Amino acid sequence: MPELSYREAVRDALSQAMRQDDDVFIMGEDIAEMGGSMGVTHGMLDEFGPERVRNIPISEMALAGAAIGAAVQGMRPVAEIMYEDFMTLAAEQVVNQAAKHRYMSGGQIKVPVVFRTQGGAGWSPGAQHAQQLEAWFVHIPGLKVVFASTPEDVRGLLWSSIYDDNPVVFFEHRTLYGIKGEVPEKIEPIPIGKARVHREGEDVTVIATGRMVHESLAAAVEAEKEGISVEVVDPRTLQPLDEETLVASVKKTNRAVVAHEAVTRMGFGAEVAAVLQYQAFDWLDAPIERVGSRFTPLPFAPIMESYVIPHMETVLEAIYRTVNKKV
Amino acid sequence: MATEVKLPRLGQGMESGTIVKWLKSEGEQVQKGDALYELDTDKVTQEVEAEASGVLLKIAVPEGEVEVGRTIAFIGSEGETVADSPVADSAVADSPDGHSAREPAPAVAQKAADVPAAAATNGASQGRVAEVEPGGRIKASPLARRIARERGIELSGVRGTGPDGRIVAEDVERGDAQPATAAPAAVGAPSGEVESRPLTSIRRTIARRLTEAWTVPAFQLTVDADMTRANELVAGQRELNPDVRVTVTDLLTKICAHALMRHRDMNVQYSEDALLVFPSAHVGIAVATPQGLVVPVVHGAERLSMAQIASVRGDLVSRARDGKLRSEDLAGGTFTISNLGMYDVDQFVAVLNPPQASILAVGATRDQVVPRSVGSQREIARDFARPGGELHVLPVMTMTLTCDHRAVDGATGADFLRTIKAFLEDPGLAL
**End-of-domain residue from the set B82, B115, B149:** B82
User: Which residues of chain A does B161 touch, with a Cβ-Cβ cutoff of 8 Å?
Assistant: 324
Same domain for A202 and A167:
no
Mean pLDDT of chain A: 97
For chain B, percent of residues with pLDDT exceeding 90: 35
- The pLDDT value recorded for residue B372 is 64
Same domain for A126 and A33:
yes
Confidence of residue B85 (pLDDT cuts 50, 70, 90): very low
- CA A179, CA A99: separation in Å to the nearest integer? 32
- Residue B368, number of CB atoms within 10 A of its CB: 15
For chain A, percent of residues with pLDDT exceeding 90: 98
Same domain for B223 and B174:
no
Same domain for A111 and A61:
yes
Does residue B414 lie within any of the structural domains? yes
**End-of-domain residue from the set A152, A182, A212:** A182
Q: In chain A, how many domains are there?
A: 2
Same domain for A122 and A38:
yes
Same domain for B143 and B273:
no
- CA A249, CA A208: separation in Å to the nearest integer? 13
- The pLDDT value recorded for residue B384 is 53
pLDDT single digits (tens) A60-71: 999 999 999 999
**Average pLDDT estimate for B178-185:** 45
The residue range of the domain holding A40 is 3-182
Does residue A190 lie within any of the structural domains? no
Q: For residue B354, give the DSSP letter.
A: T
Same domain for A114 and A22:
yes
Nearest to B312 by CA among B275, B356, B282, B346: B282
pLDDT at A222 exceeding the cut of 90: yes
**Average pLDDT estimate for B17-21:** 86
> Chain A: nearest CA to B143, how far in angstroms?
5
- The pLDDT value recorded for residue B135 is 59
Q: Which residues of B touch A (CB under 8 A)?
A: 141-146, 161-163, 168-169
Confidence of residue B328 (pLDDT cuts 50, 70, 90): confident
For chain B, percent of residues with pLDDT exceeding 70: 78
Same domain for B241 and B143:
no
Q: For testing the chain B interface, which of A251, A282, A317, A323 should be mutated: the one with the most B CBs within 10 Å?
A: A282
Three-state SS for A141?
coil
**Average pLDDT estimate for B281-299:** 90
Nearest to B229 by CA among B369, B395, B400, B417: B395
Three-state SS for A147?
strand
Length of chain B, in residues: 431
- The pLDDT value recorded for residue B190 is 47
pLDDT single digits (tens) A153-196: 999 999 999 999 999 999 999 999 999 999 999 999 999 999 99
**End-of-domain residue from the set A182, A216, A246:** A182
Lowest mean pLDDT among B178-187, B268-277, B351-360: B178-187
**End-of-domain residue from the set A133, A153, A182:** A182
CATH code for position B156: 4.10.320.10
Mean pLDDT of chain B: 79
Work out whether the CA dihedral A210, A215, A220, A223 comes out positive or negative: negative
Does residue A188 lie within any of the structural domains? no
- CA B145, CA B167: separation in Å to the nearest integer? 9
Lowest mean pLDDT among A18-32, A291-305, B284-298: B284-298
**Average pLDDT estimate for B139-148:** 90
Does residue B155 lie within any of the structural domains? yes
pTM beyond 0.80: the answer is no
pLDDT at B184 exceeding the cut of 60: no
> Chain B: nearest CA to A284, how far in angstroms?
5
Does residue A52 lie within any of the structural domains? yes
Same domain for B272 and B417:
yes
- Chains A, B: CB contacts within 8 A come to 27
Nearest to B11 by CA among B52, B50, B39, B53: B39
CB atoms B162 and A281 under 8 Å: no
- CA B266, CA A182: separation in Å to the nearest integer? 45
- The pLDDT value recorded for residue B87 is 40
**End-of-domain residue from the set B154, B183, B198:** B198
CB atoms B163 and A324 under 8 Å: yes
User: Which residues of chain B does A286 touch, with a Cβ-Cβ cutoff of 8 Å?
Assistant: 141, 162, 168
**End-of-domain residue from the set B198, B224, B258:** B198
Same domain for A264 and A161:
no
Does residue A167 lie within any of the structural domains? yes
CB atoms A281 and B161 under 8 Å: no
pLDDT at B191 exceeding the cut of 70: no
**Average pLDDT estimate for B92-100:** 39
- The pLDDT value recorded for residue A114 is 98
Confidence of residue B118 (pLDDT cuts 50, 70, 90): very low
Distance of CA B229 to the CA centre of its chain: 35
Q: Where are the alpha helices (DSSP H) in B322-409?
A: 327-330, 377-385
Same domain for A173 and A29:
yes
Q: Give the chain B residue whose CA is nearest to the CA of A281.
A: B142
Does residue B87 lie within any of the structural domains? no
Same domain for A154 and A16:
yes
Same domain for B316 and B286:
yes
Higher per-residue pLDDT: B120 or A272: A272
Lowest mean pLDDT among A136-150, A281-295, B257-271, B372-386: B372-386
Same domain for A219 and A125:
no
A129 tagged catalytic: yes
pLDDT at A223 exceeding the cut of 80: yes
Same domain for B235 and B176:
no
Same domain for A63 and A176:
yes
Does residue B366 lie within any of the structural domains? yes
Same domain for A99 and A39:
yes
Q: Give the chain B residue whose CA is nearest to the CA of A253.
A: B143
pLDDT at B375 exceeding the cut of 80: no
Q: Which of B162-176, B291-305, B372-386 holds the top average pLDDT? A: B291-305
B252 contacts B427 by C-beta, under 8 angstroms = no
Looking at this protein, which amino acid is placed at residue B402? T
Q: Is the bond preceding residue B355 a cis peptide, omega within 30 degrees? A: yes
Q: In chain B, how many domains are there?
A: 3
- CA A115, CA A87: separation in Å to the nearest integer? 9
Same domain for B223 and B159:
no
Same domain for B175 and B214:
no
Largest CA distance in chain A: 60
Same domain for A160 and A134:
yes
- The pLDDT value recorded for residue B281 is 94
The residue range of the domain holding B166 is 107-198
Confidence of residue B134 (pLDDT cuts 50, 70, 90): low
CATH code for position B226: 3.30.559.10
CA Rg value for chain B:
27
